[in-house]
Amino acid sequence: MASIPVFADALSKLQADIALVRLTRAGIPADRISAVFPRRRAPNAVCCWLKNFQDVPFASSIEVAAAGLLGRLFKSYSNVRSPKFGRELEVLNLTPGDAKRVLEKVEEDRIVLCVHARNEVQASIAWHVFQHVGVENISSPAGAEWLTGTSQAPAAPAQVAGLVAA
């Protein structure tokens, strides 16, 4: 089963660190979290917890890096237009357009976080943690039925609602 990606933009290293800590404390495994960011703004939590910290081969005025599943993906494919890169994106339930939007956000000096949720419960937890932390542009390009737009969050599952609010 493909993952349900939930994206958000952090405006600072501190905000990204807080989001990553809260995601892991809410039960999201670190291996299901990715971050793409300007290399000079690498959040501390990314450097400590996420694997596959890689430079992204992207023609840009700033150095871009990625960690987590997206870090591994960008390391494997230096040509983001290759058919293999597109197939790997599909496995993560993303499109080449999604990858392009992520890199555009990083060029705007934002830190893009992504939870590759295994199911709607994890996606809902990620959504609520992102909202609580105050990150911007929370979205899920997967087109999940529970997602009606970036301004309205899905209902938190009753069994995990207390974890997120804590």
pTM of the model: 0.78
Q: What is the mean pLDDT of residues 58-85?
A: 73
Q: Is 16:35 a contact under the CB 8 Å cutoff?
A: yes
Query: At 18, is the pLDDT very low, low, confident or very high (cuts 50, 70, 90)?
Result: very high
Q: d(Cα 127, Cα 22) in Å, to the nearest integer? A: 12
Predicted confidence (pLDDT) at residue 134 exceeds the cutoff of 70: yes
Q: What is the DSSP string of 42-56?
A: --HHHHHH-S--EE-
In our burial notation (b when 16+ CB lie closer than 10 A, e otherwise), range 29-41 reads ebebbbbbbbeeb
Predicted confidence (pLDDT) at residue 85 exceeds the cutoff of 80: no
Predicted confidence (pLDDT) at residue 14 exceeds the cutoff of 50: yes
Q: Tell me which of 29-38, 94-103, 121-130, 132-141 is least confident.
A: 94-103
Q: Tell me which of 3-12, 29-38, 122-131, 145-154 is least confident.
A: 145-154
Q: What is the mean pLDDT of residues 2-21?
A: 91
Predicted confidence (pLDDT) at residue 102 exceeds the cutoff of 50: yes
Q: Which helix (H) or strand (E) holds 163?
A: helix 158-165
Q: d(Cα 57, Cα 152) in Å, to the nearest integer? A: 35
Of residues 5, 18, 159, the one with CA closest to residue 92: 5
Q: Kindly give the residue spans of alpha helices, DSSP state H, lying in 77-149.
A: 83-91, 96-107, 120-133
Q: Do you know the residue count of the chain?
A: 166
Q: Is 63:140 a contact under the CB 8 Å cutoff?
A: no
Q: Cα torsion at 90, 92, 93, 99 (round to 10°)?
A: -80
